[in-house]
Chain A
Amino acid sequence: MAFDKRYIRNFDVKLLIAGLVLITIGLINIYSATAGGSHFGKQLLWFTLGLIAMVPVVIVDYRVLDRLGYVIYGIVFAMLVGVLAFGRVSMGARRWIDIGSFSIQPSEFAKLALIIALAKYFQSFWRTNGYSARELFIPLLMALAPFLLIAKQPDLGSAGFQILLAGTIFLLVKVDRRLLVTLTLMALPIPFVAWEFLLHDYQRGRILTLIDPMSDPLGKGYHIIQSMIAVGSGGFAGKGFMSGSQAQLKFLPEQHTDFIFSVLTEEWGFLGGIVTMGALIALLYFAMQVALNAKDRFGQIVAAGITALYFWGAAINIAMVLGLFPVVGVPLPFISYGGSALLLNMVSLGLLLNISMRRFMF
């Protein structure tokens, strides 16, 4: 496979820049949130690893993934089983596999593996008038199996992601209309059933505290209240770098991971929020363009899936920080502290660049 000069000409610099801007925003805020502790250096190391990993991901023709889709899925699946068997327990959950002094979270990589496997499945046969229930059975299993494994860790945030991603891709490739209506009707009572029978007390508590944070100001209500105080007190221009009193005084929980956006808006204010959300929207826009211009159905679905991956992460995280969504452990893409997530986001970005620069090739 010769390397064509047109690849360079078609390289999507804008997309790469959007990603790098978000990572920079993340690094600045991780530094501030952890008062210059070791997290900043670690994240920088993961960023470097991410850059190195991106090189082959960009260069090797992405259609290799079409052939290897199920193999990759199988490997990640085995890692998910492995984490339940040998993973390190931390905060009551078994989520990490230790490799030397680093630990990785296979549930992050499960997201990309699912997107690739689904793209492979849906590109193999083509339905313009929507997929039937029987045809969706296998892809549904593909999402449910990792969902159950990740939920067992337990990590409901990452587990739910499998369902969200699969659902989004199903809707994009089109579901048979009658099936869609039936499913919608069947889904309607789910919230009530879940509330009554499925949710743990603490999970119900999180939803209740969302409606009225003061009803449980100690547990999760405390997080929401403190996060909203942090965000709100930032005002228009913010309190300045490393001067957010909420963040610096450690009122904020998980301030460098899930609540990084409240540190950001406390210290950089509404302006910082606009810039960050602008960069996120730009990223989503460029990613969407990759999906629109991809030259094969596999590339199209992968690109759309990655766009969905970024969107859901950003949407859920920001809604949570702003007190509009229950507290779930979903990091903000490219910005939150966390090696596995950053690596995954960067590899996905590499894949988008790959698909984009080969859009005129075949």
Chain B
Amino acid sequence: MAFTFGHGEDRYLKARIRIAFYIAVAFFSLMLARLWYLQIFQGAHFRQESEENSIRMKEILASRGMIRDRFGKLIIDNKPNYVAGIVPEDVRDKNRLIGFMSDAVSMPVTAIAKKLQDYRGPRYLPVPIKRGLSWSELARLEAHRFEFPGLDIAVESRRSYIYGDIAPHLLGYLSEISPDELNAWNAEREDDRYQQGDQIGKGGIERRYESILKGRDGYKTVRVDSLGREIAELGRHDPKPGTNLHLTLDLDLQLYAREVFKDKVGVLLALDPRTGEILSVVNSPRYDPELFSGGISSTNWIRLRDDPDHPLENRAIRGLYPPGSTYKIIPAVAALETKTVTPWSKVYCSGYYRFGNRTFRCWKPSGHGWVDVKDAIKHSCDVFFYTMGEKLGVDKLAEYASHLGLGRPTGIDVDGEKGGIVPSSGWKLNRFKEPWYPGETISVAIGQGYNLATPLQVATVYGALGIGGKVYRPHLFRSAVDENGETVKRYEPVLHDEIRMSPSTLNVVRAGLSSVVNEPGGTAYWSRLPFKNIRMAGKTGTAQVVGYKGDARSAGSAELEDHAWFVGFAPVDNPTIVAVALVENGGHGSSTAAPLVKQLLTRYFELTAERQGVSIEDFDRHGGATVHTADGGDSGLR
């Protein structure tokens, strides 16, 4: 029912609308008067204020969270870093200032000019020119500070790497934010935005947990004089320091691992299979993260980039290698679980295996005779696994390999991880548009062929097998602790995947892997642990060099050497640690890699006993089944 006006009825409403409008006009007149007051009457005053910009906001940087090990031991600390900068707004004689700075901090004039030119932030904020001033540079600048308006010396915090190049690939480093990163990071944040020249975590933990470590910058409002000198602080908003990270790493074990591995090329890594916590990881060769802070020099960069040993490569999670004989555990488990063989079934190894009109050799030309699964693992008999491969088919192998963590990233909390390759008929069709030939399965079954895996994946597979088939996602983050010591976040283990393993399969696998190390004739008998009850189970591997970097075949003779693998867990029946050693061009797994794991695990149990306040002999007597209890020792069975 629309109401339409007759005449006269809307008079009062119209009158009120008019009155409202007059009020509006009166209000705008008042605003215009105010505008006149500000712009005309006070105009000169404000113009001067705007030219001097006497009130400024200055950032107070939050100190970055520190990085500690699982027991709270400091790994990466902060230390003051002096930065020479230029405040564009305050500069009087630009050429003279640049000339002086070039001399004082030994930097080319053109480089300084370029930094100024590329700067896009507010002109009243300092443009960082050189970070990490030496004491003599600092003294020289400080002495002449007031002769050069616009010269700024600021203190920021810088990472202090107490133990030098300790796992730099996984911990990452800090460096100046790049324009792309500036856009990417600021796209998600509305306040406390990154500024050009800010330091940011690159790579590893520093990058992944940037937002936790960074904290929240504060700021202060200051009045400055015409030379840009601060004359009064008008107010401040304190920064919130970054949150400290406690990693899963065991610093003592890590230092020991680095020492043991020396300058070999490869990886030595240990983790707790029950939770996925990484206990130590050595990539070799490494680089010094210190080189990167304040911007790496191009000489250093080229040297690292072109080093034939690839020190920048994070081999533990990015290096792809044929798993070699370490792979054999997969056909073993698959054959037992699918009842393709019983634990007592035997296969005759005559030293070679015939498939169609091709012959595949066992590594032992004279053959192993009649072998069952356990013997086959112990002696790493190729023929046994050729047979299993043919019986199971490549897709059954792929199924077990995938569920144990091969062929896709493990999900570790570090960027850039590679997934490796688990060959299957579908994969080959997809990749090469060709069907799978049964003959190819034979070499896949002993870890050659298209198989590629990272050392972390191999450790994960063995850890999962050791605890009965559960694959926990490996990780480095353990907890986040704020500046008051409160734990604000704690990592909960994530079950990544699981395979079904009957108790009998688990027993055979453990027995087989144990015999490798603990029985005479096992391929790693010379690397058994020096304890009575704590025993290690493991597997050697020797990977033929074909794939890595593609060009290895054509290179010098040392690079034709095979890669040596060893992966082991302990204690056999209740593993608390699994470790993998990969030595590039190291020859045989039994002689090069196994001793490294032996030393690492020995040290691990000694440390564990020490932390529980018992002698290693007592600890050994109890089978090493208990776990560290220091720091609330909660990594126990869950």
Contacts and interface: CB of A to CB of B under 8 A. Distances in A.
Contact of B122 (A174, A217, A251, A318): A251
B302 interface: no
Contacts of B50: 229-230, 232-233, 245-246
Contact of A123 (B3, B16, B21, B237): B3
Contact of A273 (B18, B20, B32): B32
B630 interface: no
B121 to A, nearest CB: 8
A298 B89 CA distance: 58
B13 to A, nearest CB: 7
Nearest to B39: A270
Interface stretch (B23-31, B511-519, B567-575): B23-31
B3 A291 contact: no
A217 B55 contact: yes
B235 A277 contact: no
Contact of A295 (B5, B35, B234): B5
B13 A172 contact: yes
B614 interface: no
B38 A232 contact: yes
A222 B10 CA distance: 48
Given A231-B38, A250-B122, A362 B28 contact: no
Interface in A219-273: 219, 221-222, 225-226, 228-236, 245-246, 249-251, 265, 269-270, 273
Contacts of A285: 21
Contacts of A232: 38-39, 42-43, 45-47, 49-50
A214 B173 CA distance: 42
B298 to A, nearest CB: 32
A322 interface: yes
Contacts of B220: 218
Given A217-B55, A249-B124, A236 B43 contact: yes
B118 to A, nearest CB: 16
A288 interface: yes
A226 to B, nearest CB: 8
Nearest to B234: A217
Contacts of B43: 232-236
Nearest to A63: B2
A218 B5 contact: no
Among A265, A274, A291, find the residue whose CB has the most chain B CB atoms closer than 10 A.
A291
B34 A249 contact: no
Interface in B369-394: none
A7 interface: no
A234 B39 contact: yes
A304 interface: yes
Nearest to B233: A218
B124 A235 contact: no
B26 to A, nearest CB: 11
A308 B220 CA distance: 40
Given A90-B190, A235-B39, A274 B32 contact: yes
A92 B189 CA distance: 10
Given A236-B39, A269-B39, A217 B47 contact: no
Contact of B35 (A90, A233, A250, A270): A270
Interface in A171-230: 171-174, 214, 216-219, 221-222, 225-226, 228-230
A226 B52 CA distance: 12
Contacts of B89: 249
Nearest to A230: B50
Contacts of B36: 270
Given A218-B237, A315-B24, A296 B5 contact: yes
A218 B234 contact: yes
A249 B27 CA distance: 32
B102 interface: no
A248 B24 CA distance: 32
A319 interface: yes
B1 interface: yes
Contacts of A274: 32, 35
A295 B24 CA distance: 24
Given A222-B55, A233-B46, A128 B9 contact: yes
B60 to A, nearest CB: 11
A228 B38 contact: yes
A66 B46 CA distance: 51
B221 A172 contact: no
Nearest to B14: A292
Nearest to A173: B13
Contacts of A318: 31
B235 A217 contact: yes
Contacts of B495: none
B147 interface: no
A132 interface: no
Contacts of B191: 91
A284 interface: yes
Contacts of B111: none
Contact of B2 (A123, A231, A288, A319): A123
B427 interface: no
A284 B9 contact: no
B35 A322 contact: yes
A298 B3 contact: yes
A232 B50 CA distance: 9
Contacts of A63: 2
Nearest to A269: B39
Contacts of A216: 235
Given A218-B57, A229-B46, A362 B221 contact: no
B49 A229 contact: yes
A360 interface: no
A39 interface: no
Contacts of B13: 172-174, 297, 300
B104 interface: no
A115 to B, nearest CB: 14
A296 B2 contact: yes
A91 B39 CA distance: 33
Given A228-B38, A232-B42, A265-B39, A281 B28 contact: yes
A250 B221 CA distance: 15
Contacts of A128: 9, 12
Contacts of A231: 35, 38-39, 46
B92 interface: no
A276 B133 CA distance: 52
Contacts of A323: 38
A296 B4 contact: yes
A292 B38 contact: no
Contacts of B139: none
A128 B21 CA distance: 21
Contact of B4 (A172, A270, A295): A295
A228 B50 CA distance: 10
Contacts of B55: 217, 222, 225-226
B2 A233 contact: no
B162 interface: no
Contacts of A300: 10, 13
Interface of B: 1-5, 9-10, 12-14, 16-18, 20-21, 24-25, 27-28, 31-32, 34-36, 38-40, 42-43, 45-47, 49-51, 53, 55, 57, 89, 121-124, 190-191, 219-221, 234-237
18 contacts: A91-B190, A173-B13, A174-B12, A217-B235, A218-B57, A231-B35, A231-B38, A232-B46, A233-B51, A235-B47, A246-B50, A296-B2, A296-B4, A297-B10, A300-B10, A307-B20, A315-B27, A315-B28
Given A123-B2, A251-B124, 20 more contacts: A63-B2, A91-B190, A218-B57, A218-B236, A222-B55, A222-B221, A228-B38, A229-B46, A229-B49, A234-B43, A245-B51, A249-B89, A250-B121, A269-B39, A281-B24, A281-B28, A304-B20, A308-B20, A311-B24, A323-B38
Closest 5 A/B residue pairs (Cβ)? A232-B46, A218-B235, A233-B50, A218-B221, A91-B190
